[in-house]
Structure 1
């Protein structure tokens, strides 16, 4: 079963809206390009990701709206 984007209610501060699950081969820059989001905005929306060069499949990324 392939997971794509889905909207969920968030209880985390400053996060609401869309969550995307990291897939093998994803990078923050490729996600930003795919969703036409400035990379800086994507990085700012995801402070829980400590090393942007070491993303793990299944990890959540918040897409700023």
Structure 2
């Protein structure tokens, strides 16, 4: 298992829900803090690549910073 921290420009609680829903079945755990823009993700590197996680978030329209 690996844990990463990403930062994105988030606006409201629905941003959190969209990100969690998109990653829910692909990773072990997703924690989103809308106020700070922090997204903490625990995932199995043998099941999903970091680039896929980033692309999933970006495909939702969120800019990673």
Question: Smaller-chain TM-score range?
Answer: 0.3 to 0.5
Q: TM-score, structure 1 length as denominator?
A: 0.34
Structure showing the higher helix proportion among its residues:
2
Structure showing the higher strand proportion among its residues:
2
